[in-house]
Amino acid sequence: MKNNCKNCCGSWMNKRSVSVRPAVLPGFLLSFVMLMATMASAVPASSAVFMAPTVSTLSTVSTLSTASTGKTGLSETTAWTTAEAPENELDRVRQLFEQGKVLHAQMTHELIDSYTGETQVISGELWISRDKYKIRADHQVVLVDGDISMVYNERQNKLIISEYEPEEDDFAPSRFFSDADELFQVAGITREGDQTEILLRPDDPFEIFTEVFIRLNADLTPDEIRAVDQMENQLNTRFTDAHYLDYSEAVFVLEYPENAEIIDLRK
């Protein structure tokens, strides 16, 4: 299992390391991280948060013709119960992130276009804490933090560094934490076997997502997160080998070759 930057970014000679502090994810990966942040920022019992994706800018996302499973909700025989308990599984996940835990997992993220039926798929490895994210997927490594975004493209041997402008960003991580109770409400919780599925719905009828489903395992790791937007597009993320790590700054370091082209877009 990969859990350090050397393994994450590959083996290169004469590397340089940069530790940054988060930013917003570019393109298609953002639609995945917004799902994960729903868990990381879940507010107590009655509400949770979600955010919208941007247009894809990752050149390595593949377009597939495979059909979707169409799984966007619970079966008709599953009964929802209201989330009135003082503590539910989302509350416990939130507490783990507040305690400094880092979720590490392999993931496959799908964006299913309701109009064309095409499925965009990206697979990779992720590390996510309460306010930092690192993802390695499709020959790109993304490290985000509140002030800076760093994206290294292995194929192009190019590192892009940009300054984070939260006031210009509708998808800011701060939305997860400061505005959580204004965005999504826990509409129901169902438990079956050792798994729990939680339904979130927005308070705002104009919110881009109409439903979010989070399925958690008994150890509070995610099994699957699904969402449906206003255009009935589906976002499905599945996880394997998910587990929580103790926080380490070494996890949130991006390494790149000495000869990489660096494009610094900061002012």
The domain spans of the chain are: 5-264
Q: What is the pLDDT of residue 164?
A: 64
Q: What is the pLDDT of residue 165?
A: 59
Q: What is the pLDDT of residue 89?
A: 82
**182 vs 48, 122, 130, 146, CA distance in Å?**
9, 30, 19, 21
Q: What is the pLDDT of residue 235?
A: 86
For the entire predicted model, the pTM comes to 0.67
For the chain, give the longest Cα–Cα distance.
58
Q: What is the pLDDT of residue 155?
A: 92
Check the CA dihedral 189-190-191-196 and report its sign.
Answer: negative
User: Which CATH number fits the domain 5-264, given the four candidates 2.40.10.10, 3.40.640.10, 2.50.20.10, 2.40.37.10?
Assistant: 2.50.20.10
Q: What is the pLDDT of residue 27?
A: 41
Where the chain has pLDDT below 50, the residues are: 1-28, 38-39, 41-86, 168-181
Share of the chain above pLDDT 90, in %: 26
Q: What is the pLDDT of residue 219?
A: 94
